[in-house]
Amino acid sequence: MSIADTQENISSADYEYPHKTSVQLLNRFNFATLVDAGCGTDTRLAQYAKLRLAAYVGFDADAAKDQDGVFKPVAQILGRKLKELGITAQTLEADICSIEPEDFDRTDHPTVVHARFVLAQLNKPQRVEAIKRCAQLGQIVILMEYDWTAMLGRDDDFLFVESVKQAILDLMMQCRVDAFAGHTLFSVAGEAIKPPYTMQSEKLARPMGPWTGELLALVERMLAKAQQIKRFDLVAKFGPMIRKLRGSITLGEPICFRPAEIVIAIITR
């Protein structure tokens, strides 16, 4: 199971920045179909596609806990949520490493493929294959991955932020999620694509600042995951971290740090 398993149980506040980033990137392009690879259960990109008068296709290979507490295919959960919102979309169970263009109805061109924080869950050969597959699905491919090496606490917050980062990295490793996928994204994508494809790369680094609320939401999510997989050593670390983060917000003395970077590769043909 992936780190997305607990998504149903938590607020989506800490997904705000990645979502806004996706929207800013997608706003640069004209497209009639948005294919969301490894879509997860968040409905916002489908809502955005609707605003852009584009068709939305979301696919995912994993299962997650639904509102009734039962594990179901992620695509099925997203499909249910979109139906409840009155949004027409295709949601399918498919693996990014084996999906074919024929696996979904694609009447409207051009197509943009969006894969956010998915490659980090794959090993290197799978990533190369996944990128090749994405490039076959559409004319534009947007890949986004985190690089956690960039996270750094300011002055007095340095040690605390390092300890938070280390605990997060431990948990990600346990879940077989590569926290440094952003660090190697350009080289992996470069290996996957050949002309006529071209790649443009960007890094979104945010400045040192009081991103405490975002970190709190993330650590709360990590705590839930650590409890789920019974890593009680990490549970024992995340609990006090949450108290400290909450306290710093209450006292008006936010923890200041530079967040992990989002690395972006845009592939076009």
Site for ligand SAM, rule CB under 6 A: 2-4, 15, 18, 38-40, 42, 60-62, 74, 95-97, 116-118, 121-122
CA 45-119-82 angle, to 5 degrees, is: 25
CB-nearer residue toward ligand SAM: 74 or 112: 74
Between β-strands 198-204 and 261-268, what pairing exists: parallel, antiparallel or unpaired?
A: antiparallel
- Amino acid residing at 267: I
CB-nearer residue toward ligand SAM: 71 or 232: 71
Residues 6+ apart with CB under 8 A from 94: 59, 60, 61, 75, 103
The least distance separating ligand SAM from the CB of residue 46, rounded to whole angstroms, comes to 12
**187 closest CA partner among 126, 242, 127, 105:** 127
CB-nearer residue toward ligand SAM: 136 or 198: 136
The least distance separating ligand SAM from the CB of residue 121, rounded to whole angstroms, comes to 4
CB-nearer residue toward ligand SAM: 50 or 225: 225
Task: Write out the E strands in 79-168.
Answer: 90-93, 111-116, 140-147, 152-153
CB-nearer residue toward ligand SAM: 10 or 208: 10
CB-nearer residue toward ligand SAM: 16 or 191: 16
* Cα R_g (the chain), whole angstroms: 19
The least distance separating ligand SAM from the CB of residue 205, rounded to whole angstroms, comes to 19
Residue indicated by tokens 């709360």: 220
> Residue 255: helix, strand or coil by DSSP?
coil
| Token code pair at residue 61 | 């290979």
The Cα 131–Cα 92 span in angstroms is 19
CB-nearer residue toward ligand SAM: 22 or 248: 22
**14 closest CA partner among 212, 193, 155, 146:** 212
The least distance separating ligand SAM from the CB of residue 130, rounded to whole angstroms, comes to 7
Residue indicated by tokens 């050593």: 233
The least distance separating ligand SAM from the CB of residue 157, rounded to whole angstroms, comes to 26
The Cα 140–Cα 226 span in angstroms is 36
**253 closest CA partner among 152, 157, 113:** 157
The least distance separating ligand SAM from the CB of residue 104, rounded to whole angstroms, comes to 13
CB-nearer residue toward ligand SAM: 142 or 256: 142
The least distance separating ligand SAM from the CB of residue 62, rounded to whole angstroms, comes to 3
